[in-house]
Amino acid sequence: MDVLMPQLGETVLEGTVATWYKAEGDTVAKGDLLLDVETDKAATEIEAPEAGVLSKIAVPEGETVDVGTVLAVIAVDGEAVATGSAAGAAAAVTTSEPEPAAAPASAGLPAKSAGGKLSPAVRRLAKQHNLNIEDIKGSGRDGRVTRQNVLDFIKVGGAAKAAPVKAARAKAAPMAGETLPFDRFRKITAEHMVRSKATSPHVLQAIDVDFSGVDAVRLAKKDAWKSDKGYSLTYLPFVARAVCQALAEFPRINASVEGEALVLHPDVNLAIAIDLNHEGLVAPVVPDASGLSVSALAEAFADLVSRAQTKKLSPDDLQGGTYTLSNPGPFGTLFTAPIINQPQVGILSMDAVKKRAVVIESEAGDAIAVRPVGILAHSFDHRAIDGAYSAAYLQKLKALIETADWGSEF
């Protein structure tokens, strides 16, 4: 049975044999580690595909060959073990060359652990963190130290206990920085984000919007609003109001994916992403948001922000969202690609509104004007809808924001 150079990535055409762990004539079991292969993108361990005798090593350590090249031959089920000049030459190459321990040894790292040779990935990781391999218990075959063993050792503080770098080393290895374990809240957020990206094929579309009409009302009311409410009247409730109206015409976005079905929701339960002073993120929900005016939405958002930042949200506040709106705009961002709040179909990011030069088209001719412009970015689940549907939704959203009678909302 031939052992072939594997394809380690769509664009990888060749690989290098880094280390052989078996010699010609060795008996191998299915799953035994045979060799390490490295490319410019990855390093991997190649295991024996079947039990038998390693009858021939066709590619010696350090040699680079094309994907699909025969690296070795395993004689299985009584097949004759290959002998002769080809096998002898290969054996001579692997036995006459000095042990690959020589190079790592100069850096203070052995090339072998108690269980056998170290893979290049393990050597690099141990060198980076200035670790003594002898301090790490191996869980691999015959006690071999694996990459995961090294990572686990670092995680429990082994790197901090490592021996100091020898003065004879020509170049110091990068020292590990401070380790900040994820707290419970960060773990939950991380798990949700990873699950979302793994579950939904995300597609991002964006559109620029002229906020002149919004500004005409917002700026006229901002002082009285701030004096009466104690907080600023931002762009967020205006965008949220337009979102609710647009979703009424595009119900497949106000939906969730359940198995192989799309569930359309009759009410817009609008989730709002809220930053917790850079210590986490929550997305409490305004239920039946489509029935609220701009002023009512502004009040609902202010209440949620206040309770989120004082840790007074209830479990019910975080349930039932059908669509999510994120607003990194106060930080001056230009463009954000948000991650979908599962199992919802879409999420909209509203970034900073800035004065920009835009072309104004009219029957009298084109003109350049300075207008408040912001970018709305929409991530959607391509399982549920296609790009044309999302684009039409964004186009409707833009039209609503630019042409609505915002004064009537107060």
In the Cβ-directed half-sphere of 245, how many Cα atoms lie within 13 Å? 18
* 108 and 236 assigned to the same domain: no
Q: Which residues pair with 59 in a beta bridge?
A: none
Q: In this structure, is residue 179 part of a structural domain?
A: no
* 351 and 220 assigned to the same domain: yes
Q: In this structure, is residue 173 part of a structural domain?
A: no
Q: Which of 93, 127, 161 is the last residue of a domain?
A: 161
Pick the residue with more confidence: 291 or 18? Answer: 291
pLDDT at 362 over 60: yes
What domain range is 223 assigned to? 185-409
Residues 1/52, Cβ–Cβ less than 8 Å? yes
pLDDT at 18: 82
* 213 and 103 assigned to the same domain: no
d(CA 384, CA 293): 29
pLDDT at 407: 92
Q: Which of 161, 193, 210 is the last residue of a domain?
A: 161
pLDDT at 95: 37
* 105 and 238 assigned to the same domain: no
* 35 and 133 assigned to the same domain: yes
pLDDT at 159: 57
* 352 and 283 assigned to the same domain: yes
d(CA 266, CA 320): 12
Q: In this structure, is residue 150 part of a structural domain?
A: yes
pLDDT at 98: 41
List the CATH number of the domain containing 206.
Answer: 3.30.559.10
Pick the residue with more confidence: 62 or 234? Answer: 234
Q: In this structure, is residue 170 part of a structural domain?
A: no
Q: In this structure, is residue 105 part of a structural domain?
A: yes
* 370 and 225 assigned to the same domain: yes
Q: Which pLDDT band, with edges at 50, 70 and 90, does 42 fall under?
A: low
Structural tokens at position 198: 């793994």
Q: Which residues pair with 275 in a beta bridge?
A: 281
Q: What is the pLDDT of residues 84-109, one digit of tens each?
A: 434 434 333 333 344 443 333 334 45
* 148 and 21 assigned to the same domain: yes
Coil, helix or strand for 369?
strand
Q: Catalytic residue numbers?
A: 382, 386
* 275 and 138 assigned to the same domain: no
pLDDT at 232: 93
Q: In this structure, is residue 171 part of a structural domain?
A: no
Q: Which pLDDT band, with edges at 50, 70 and 90, does 44 fall under?
A: confident
pLDDT at 297: 97
**Domains in the chain, number:** 2
d(CA 272, CA 191): 19
List the CATH number of the domain containing 123.
Answer: 2.40.50.100
Residues 331/316, Cβ–Cβ less than 8 Å? no
Q: In this structure, is residue 166 part of a structural domain?
A: no
Out of 123-127, 277-281, 301-305, the most confident range is: 301-305
* 35 and 118 assigned to the same domain: yes
* 143 and 189 assigned to the same domain: no
* 99 and 231 assigned to the same domain: no
CA angle centred on 146, ends 122 and 15, rounded to 5°: 55
**Average pLDDT of span 261-285:** 92
**Average pLDDT of span 269-284:** 89
Q: In this structure, is residue 177 part of a structural domain?
A: no
Q: What is the pLDDT of residues 292-327, one digit of tens each?
A: 999 999 999 999 999 988 888 888 888 899 999 999
Q: Which of 127, 161, 195 is the last residue of a domain?
A: 161
Average pLDDT value for the chain: 83
Provide the terminal-to-terminal Cα distance of the chain, rounded to the nearest Å: 78
Residues 134/110, Cβ–Cβ less than 8 Å? yes
